[in-house]
Chain A
Amino acid sequence: MSLICKDIVKTYSGKDVLQDVSLELQPGKIYGLIGRNGAGKTTLLSILTAQNPATRGEISLDGQGVWENRRSLEKLCFSRELNANAESGLASMKAKEYLRIAATYYESWDRDMEARLVSLFELNVKKKLGKMSKGMLSMITIIVALCSKAPYTFLDEPVAGLDVVAREQFYKLLLEEYTESGRTFVVSTHIIEEAADLLEEVIILHQGKVLLSGETQSFVDSACHVSGKAEEVDAAVAGLEVRHVETMGRSKGVTVFLEPGQKIDESRDVSVQPVSLQRAFVALCGEEEHK
């Protein structure tokens, strides 16, 4: 009972956007998909939900291929970022109509929840999508994702453009729906700090490859920040995987990723501090700028 993708490759005009991506998404978990702009997050989500064919590789849900398989597709919902521009043809569509169309796609669409969320977000559904702000469009994608009741639901940047109050409302709604239904959610986000504690598992996509996939807690626990006099820091972290080095005069700070069994030499005169998911992510994926 899981959504599995194996060795996914996606090539756009000769360029590999995804390279050998293999993942297993287990039922009843909240996954975070994080990565920098252009890492391939949206492409991966659209391929996992069979809205976009992979160049190579396979995707299966509970052992069944997903591509053009109605029974599998019914269990998947990918609520894309809404782009109500002229090309998408959505600009002149009213929010109400968009939601009505979405409702016909999903067998278990929850009308009561739709009404509740529209009023919670104070959305005017008579408004045309083209006249809506980025935040309002995000609210609509959130409503589609939650009301679809799909066992595997994918949200692409659901909080983009939302103000802080609406973002907190979304996190609470997601948790509420998750604890009540046990659905699987995969959420891509750039606002890592806020979502970190919600995510049981984290998938880090970097330049089209899965850099890491595992429990959020163990990833965060494996990283720490060591600082002090440069020589002391170097001695304390000798032989360890060091990232994100910053120096100022004689002082030095580094982020260290520990393998199981490894330790920092704390007999040295250094400060050792935990790091957040966001800091660990920057240390892992933000290397280029610091070289």
Chain B
Amino acid sequence: MNERLTEQKSIYLQISEMIETDILRGILLEEEQVPSTNELAKLYTINPATAAKGVGLLVDEGILYKRRGIGMFVSSGARERILAKRKAAFAENHLAPLLAEARSLGISREELLNMIGERSI
């Protein structure tokens, strides 16, 4: 939650990704309350509406849920859901730019596969 915001992406997306990352890292646990939008707004000095939009995205995806009058909580199964989502987006988010860079450097498919083969995951 204490990462710095960048200009490379919409703030509300960064807020929702930071909450997700905290869930993946076990900083936020399932069935635990997440900071309120006002707390997030103050921490990042951003408009509370922006923080609410980021949190709202996660509610729509079932990663967070609202307990009336109390606040937002991490859903059970949230960690699995985030993993599945990030895996599904992995090719688009990470492979596409890798391949684009390889193409402009003239790296062949074989060379690229070799490079990957030489590294342990």
Contact = CB atoms under 8 A, between A and B. Distances in A.
B46 A198 contact: yes
Contacts of B42: 172, 175-176, 179
B98 interface: no
Nearest to B53: A217
Interface in B1-53: 5, 7-12, 38, 41-42, 44-50, 53
Contacts of B48: 175, 178-179
B114 interface: no
A221 B50 contact: no
B74 to A, nearest CB: 23
B41 A179 contact: yes
A198 B8 contact: no
Contacts of A168: 45
A41 to B, nearest CB: 20
With most chain B CB atoms within 10 A of its CB, the pick from A171, A198, A221 is A198
Contacts of A175: 41-42, 45, 47-48
A274 B9 contact: yes
Which range holds the interface residue count of chain B? 10 to 19
Nearest to B36: A179
Interface in A169-194: 171-172, 175-176, 178-179
B31 to A, nearest CB: 26
A30 interface: yes
A217 B49 CA distance: 11
B120 interface: no
Contacts of B8: 273-274
A200 B47 contact: yes
B45 A197 contact: yes
Nearest to B41: A175
With most chain B CB atoms within 10 A of its CB, the pick from A176, A197, A200 is A197
Contact of B10 (A30, A171, A217): A217
A276 B7 CA distance: 6
Interface string A191-229: 000000111100000000000000011001100000000
A221 B12 CA distance: 12
Nearest to B6: A274
A197 B10 contact: no
A181 to B, nearest CB: 12
A269 interface: yes
B99 to A, nearest CB: 13
B10 A172 contact: no
A198 B45 contact: yes
Contacts of A30: 47
29 contacts: A30-B47, A171-B45, A172-B42, A175-B41, A175-B42, A175-B45, A175-B47, A178-B48, A179-B41, A179-B42, A197-B44, A197-B46, A197-B47, A197-B50, A198-B46, A199-B47, A200-B49, A200-B50, A216-B47, A217-B11, A217-B12, A217-B50, A217-B53, A221-B10, A269-B104, A273-B8, A274-B7, A274-B8, A274-B10
Interface of A: 29-30, 168, 171-172, 175-176, 178-179, 197-200, 216-217, 220-221, 269, 273-274, 276
Given A197-B47, A200-B50, A274-B9, 16 more contacts: A29-B49, A172-B42, A175-B41, A175-B45, A179-B38, A179-B42, A197-B44, A197-B45, A198-B46, A199-B47, A200-B49, A216-B47, A217-B10, A217-B50, A273-B8, A274-B7
